[in-house]
């Protein structure tokens, strides 16, 4: 239990009010040993709170005296080459170091608050390889649709979801799959998270006018075959991306919407001509991350413990799921008597009941029915309903199937995907 030892050492140091350099080192070390994705150092009215984001959830690690905070912030600023004497405006920097033989990049962000500067650090493990698509929990119909969209020589592939839902991981996996000496791949990122050999990656700098729209316009003069734009933030970027896709380029990007259908209405709200959407969009991906139930301590959850509303929602969601999807992913015998599991907790998962995370996905292709709705300017709700009617597996359906496969729990599924009973 190296983590516990490091945490005890950290507690001893902050209670002794000594050795700021060592405190900062152990704050990072404990986060890495505990597989945290983010570190939050947050000054409050009478103390400073240290929190780590682990498996998507913030966990409070400890509290320490406020007078130590100035030194801690200064140390992190020195490591990330930020201005120590500037505390009035936010700053962004980067720390590169190796811990436990792992080369790491820590993206550092400072923010002035009423009680002092808050520091948040995103941990990127550079030793991790970009996962293959087959290892992202994209299964059966979703996998077939995505591979079909990737194989097309032009068009737009969009992925949506909240921060930390593996959107960029999905895009990097696609780019890695397409990376070939015969193909010119370019990216516009903010920031560049993973450096991939064979791909021309560029970081935008809005402060000096190097925006996504400007970068995309410039990239098109570099004879690209495939372009990844980190995010569709404005109408200009969307317009250029659609135009590029119609002139024989494959464009990948992300957009912030709740589900795949809302992506269409979001684009329409940017005053894009409706007829351009079916002509340019290959596929829209919506995704979430849910915690994976610990395989060591999970126990069966009787159906009697599940409330009636949830059971009705499950029954309806499965009734509109393509039968072939269920037969391929959940064997027939299990469907006769559906079984779910619940989290308990053990040493293997640090008594949390969960360990690692699982992806939930929905893939919306532009079917004839969806195309007609887009041209009519129909609502996202109706487009979503039509897509499910045409065979789309929604986030909720994909999550329920993964719960039936004993990968996660119903609580996690319904926390990540809102239930929409459309009966």
Q: Which two tokens stand for residue 183?
A: 């193909």
Please report the DSSP string for 87-151 in residue order.
Answer: -SS-EEEEEEEEETTEEEEEEEEEEEETTEEEEEEEEEETTSPPPPGGGTT--HHHHHHHHHHHH
Closest to 53 measured CA to CA, from 162, 127, 147, 204: 162
What pLDDT, on the 0 to 100 scale, is given for residue 335?
65
Query: What values do phi and psi take at 282, rounded to 5?
Result: -80, -50
Confidence band (pLDDT; 50, 70, 90) for 186? very high
Contact 177, 183 (CB under 8 A): no
List b or e across 153-164, with b for residues whose CB sees 16 or more CB atoms inside 10 angstroms: ebbbbbbbbeee
Which tens digit of pLDDT belongs to each residue from 106-160? Answer: 999 999 999 999 999 999 887 778 888 888 889 889 999 999 999 999 999 999 9
Alpha helix ranges (H) inside 223-338: 235-246, 260-269, 276-280, 308-319, 323-329, 332-336
Confidence band (pLDDT; 50, 70, 90) for 193? confident
Which tens digit of pLDDT belongs to each residue from 316-350? Answer: 888 888 888 887 788 655 666 778 888 888 887 77
What pLDDT, on the 0 to 100 scale, is given for residue 398?
92
Which tens digit of pLDDT belongs to each residue from 226-246? Answer: 999 999 989 999 999 999 999
Lowest mean pLDDT among 9-18, 104-113, 265-274, 301-310: 9-18
What pLDDT, on the 0 to 100 scale, is given for residue 253?
96
Whether cis (ω within 30° of 0) applies to the bond prior to 191 is yes
Query: How many CB atoms neighbour CB 283 within 10 A?
Result: 21
**Percent of the chain whose pLDDT exceeds 70:** 94
Confidence band (pLDDT; 50, 70, 90) for 18? low
Q: What is the mean pLDDT of the chain?
A: 88
Interatomic CA distance for residues 108 and 168, integer angstroms = 19
Across the range 355-378, mean pLDDT stands at 93
What pLDDT, on the 0 to 100 scale, is given for residue 191?
81
């Amino acid at each position: 239990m190296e983590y516990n030892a490091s945490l005890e050492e950290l507690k001893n140091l902050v209670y002794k009010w000594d050795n700021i350099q060592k405190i900062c080192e152990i704050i990072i070390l404990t986060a890495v040993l505990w597989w945290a994705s983010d570190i939050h150092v947050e000054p409050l009215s009478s103390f400073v709170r240290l929190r780590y984001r682990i498996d998507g959830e913030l966990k409070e690690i400890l509290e320490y005296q406020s007078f130590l905070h100035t030194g801690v912030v200064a140390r992190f600023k020195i490591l990330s080459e930020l201005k120590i004497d500037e505390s009035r405006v936010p700053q962004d920097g980067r720390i590169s170091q190796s811990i436990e033989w792992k080369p790491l990049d820590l993206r550092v962000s400072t923010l002035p608050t009423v009680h002092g500067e808050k520091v948040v650090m995103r941990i990127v493990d550079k030793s991790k390889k970009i996962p293959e698509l087959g290892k992202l929990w994209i299964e059966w119909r979703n996998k077939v649709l995505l591979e079909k969209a990737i194989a097309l020589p032009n068009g737009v592939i969009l992925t949506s979801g909240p921060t930390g839902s593996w959107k960029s991981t999905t895009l990097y996996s696609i780019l890695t799959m397409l990376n070939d000496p015969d193909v010119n791949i370019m990216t516009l990122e903010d920031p560049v998270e993973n450096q991939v050999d064979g791909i021309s990656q560029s970081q935008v700098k809005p402060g000096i006018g190097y925006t996504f729209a400007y970068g995309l316009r410039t990239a098109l003069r570099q004879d690209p075959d495939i372009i990844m734009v980190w995010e569709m933030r404005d109408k200009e970027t969307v317009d250029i991306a659609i135009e590029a896709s119609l002139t024989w380029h494959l464009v990948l990007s992300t957009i912030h919407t709740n589900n795949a259908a809302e992506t269409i209405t979001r684009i329409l709200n940017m005053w894009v001509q409706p007829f351009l959407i079916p002509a340019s969009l290959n596929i829209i991906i919506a995704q979430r991350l849910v915690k994976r139930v610990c395989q060591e301590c999970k126990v069966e959850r009787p159906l009697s413990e599940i409330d009636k509303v949830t059971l009705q929602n499950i029954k309806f969601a499965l009734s509109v799921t393509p039968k072939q999807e269920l037969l391929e992913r959940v064997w027939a015998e299990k469907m006769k008597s559906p079984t779910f599991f619940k989290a308990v907790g053990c040493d293997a998962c640090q008594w949390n009941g969960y360990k690692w995370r699982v992806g939930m996905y929905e893939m919306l292709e532009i079917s004839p029915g969806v195309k007609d709705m887009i041209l009519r300017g129909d609502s996202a709700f109706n487009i979503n309903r039509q897509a499910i009617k045409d065979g789309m597996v929604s986030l909720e359906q994909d999550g329920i199937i993964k719960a039936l496969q004993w990968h996660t729990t119903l609580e996690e599924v319904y926390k990540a995907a809102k239930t929409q009973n459309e009966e």
